[in-house]
Amino acid sequence: MWQTLFDRMLSRFIREGELETEYPDGTRRRYGPGGGLSLRIRLHDEALVRALCRDPEMALGEGYMDGRLTIEGDRLHDLMTFLLRNRQLGGLPRWARTADAARYAVRAFVQRNTPRSARANVAHHYDLSNDLYRLFLDDDMQYSCAYFARPDMSLDEAQAAKKAHIAAKLLIEPDMRVLDIGCGWGGMAITLARDYGARVTGVTLSENQLALGRERVAAAGLSDRIDLRLMDYRKLDGPFDRIVSVGMFEHVGLPQYATYFTKVRDLLTPDGVALIHTIGRSTPPHTTAGWIQKYIFPGGYVPSLSEATRAVERADLWLTDLEVWRLHYARTMAAWRDRFEARLDQVRAAYDERFIRMWRYYLIACQATFEVDRQGVFQMQLAKRADAVPLTRDYIGPAEARTSIAAQ
> Which own/partner pairs from 127-135 qualify as long-range (CB within 8 Å, at least 24 positions apart)?
127/206, 127/207, 127/208, 127/209, 128/208, 129/208, 129/350, 130/185, 130/208, 130/209, 130/212, 131/350, 132/347, 132/350, 132/351, 133/185, 135/339, 135/340, 135/343, 135/346, 135/347
**In this structure, are residues 20 and 32 in contact, taking their beta carbons and an 8 Å threshold?**
no
Which residues are known catalytic residues? 366
DSSP assignment string, 44-84: --HHHHHHHHH-HHHHHHHHHHHTSEEEGGG-HHHHHHHHH
**In this structure, are residues 312 and 261 in contact, taking their beta carbons and an 8 Å threshold?**
yes
Calpha distance 355→68 (Å, rounded): 15
404 phi and psi, to 5 degrees? -65, -40
Amino acid at 114: T
**In this structure, are residues 178 and 199 in contact, taking their beta carbons and an 8 Å threshold?**
yes
Does the CA dihedral 327-331-336-340 come out positive or negative?
positive
